[in-house]
Amino acid sequence: MKKLLEGRIAIVTGAGRGIGRAHALELAAQGAAVVVNDFGVSLAGEGSGESPADAVVAEIEAAGGQAVANGADVADFAAAEAMVRQAVDTFGGLDILVNNAGFVRDRMLVNTSEEEWDAVIRVHLKGHFAPLRHAGAYWRAEAKEGRQRAARVINTSSGAGLQGSVGQATYSAAKAGIAGLTLVAAQEMGRYGVTVNAIAPVARTRMTEGAFPEMMAGVEGGFDAMDPANNSPIVAWLASEEAADVTGRIIEIEGGRITLETGWRHGHADDKGARWEAAEVGPALRKLIAQAPDPEPVYGA
Q: What is the reported pLDDT for 220?
A: 61
- pLDDT above 60 for 210: no
Dihedral sign, Cα of residue 60, residue 61, residue 64, residue 66: positive
Q: 91 lies in a domain?
A: yes
Confidence of residue 244 (pLDDT cuts 50, 70, 90): very high
Q: Of 119-133, 139-153, 211-225, 275-289, which range is least confident?
A: 211-225
Confidence of residue 223 (pLDDT cuts 50, 70, 90): confident
Q: What is the reported pLDDT for 51?
A: 75
Q: 275 lies in a domain?
A: no
Torsional class of 127: left (φ above 0), alpha (ψ -120 to 50), beta (otherwise): alpha
Q: What is the reported pLDDT for 25?
A: 98
Q: 281 lies in a domain?
A: no
Residue 12 vs residue 213, higher pLDDT: 12
Q: What is the pLDDT of residues 9-29, one digit of tens each?
A: 999 999 999 999 999 999 999
Q: 300 lies in a domain?
A: no
Question: Which of these is catalytic: 158, 172, 232, 240?
Answer: 158
The CATH number linked to 13 is 3.40.50.720
pTM of the model: 0.91
Confidence of residue 192 (pLDDT cuts 50, 70, 90): very high
Q: What is the chain's mean pLDDT, rounded?
A: 93
Q: What is the reported pLDDT for 171?
A: 96
Confidence of residue 1 (pLDDT cuts 50, 70, 90): confident
Report the number of distinct structural domains present in the chain. Answer: 1
Question: Which of these is catalytic: 138, 171, 192, 299?
Answer: 171
Q: What is the reported pLDDT for 203?
A: 84
Q: 198 lies in a domain?
A: yes
171 is a catalytic site residue:
yes
- pLDDT above 50 for 30: yes
299 is a catalytic site residue:
no
- pLDDT above 90 for 80: yes
48 is a catalytic site residue:
no
Q: What is the pLDDT of residues 103-116, one digit of tens each?
A: 999 999 999 999 99
Q: What is the pLDDT of residues 46-77, one digit of tens each?
A: 555 567 999 999 999 999 999 999 999 999 99
Q: Are 100 and 13 in contact (CB under 8 A)?
A: yes
Q: 160 lies in a domain?
A: yes
Mean pLDDT of 84-109: 96
Question: Which of these is catalytic: 157, 165, 175, 299?
Answer: 175
Q: Which residues contact 218 (CB under 8 A, 6 or more apart)?
A: 204, 224, 225, 226, 227, 255
* Distance linking the first and last C-alpha atoms of the chain: 49
**Distance from CA of residue 22 to its chain's centroid?**
14
**What percent of the chain has pLDDT above 90?**
85
Question: Which residue range forms the structural domain that includes residue 106?
Answer: 9-260
Q: What is the reported pLDDT for 45?
A: 47
SS3 category, 15: coil
Mean pLDDT of 86-108: 96
Confidence of residue 165 (pLDDT cuts 50, 70, 90): very high
Q: 193 lies in a domain?
A: yes
Q: 148 lies in a domain?
A: yes
